[in-house]
Amino acid sequence: GENVEQHPSTLSVQEGDSAVIKCTYSDSASNYFPWYKQELGKGPQLIIDIRSNVGEKKDQRIAVTLNKTAKHFSLHITETQPEDSAVYFCAASREGNNRLAFGKGNQVVVIP
């Protein structure tokens, strides 16, 4: 099955700086790559996703890049704010079955 790994496990950034989280996946047939944000005591919430037919997608301060050849994708958060502090999960699946395989998560701490 699909195996998704995230690096680093914890990331501390100064408010206003950028944060980058990288994920690698193992199944070359995976073609859907979402990022979820989980705040304490809440369920994960989708923040951005990308499909294999594009290499980059942006939504305001958040962007995701995909390298299918290398089987990795990254989340970029610019101008970080304290409310960006959370655990971020990457996931991968084959579109059409939506059986998401999640990574272990990255704790992002934004220091005011």
**Is 45 exposed, middle or buried, given 0-12, 13-18 or 19+ CB atoms closer than 10 A?**
exposed
3-state SS assignment for residue 34: strand
Nearer to another protein, 4 or 77 (CB): 4
Q: Which C-beta is closer to another protein: that of 3 or that of 18?
A: 3
Spatial separation of the C-alpha atoms in residues 28 and 49, rounded to whole Å: 17
Nearest to another protein of 40, 70 (CB atom):
40
User: Least Å distance between CB 41 and another protein?
Assistant: 7
Tell me the C-alpha distance between 6 and 23, whole Å. Answer: 4
Least spacing, CB of residue 54 vs another protein, in Å: 15
CB of 34 to another protein, least distance (A): 7
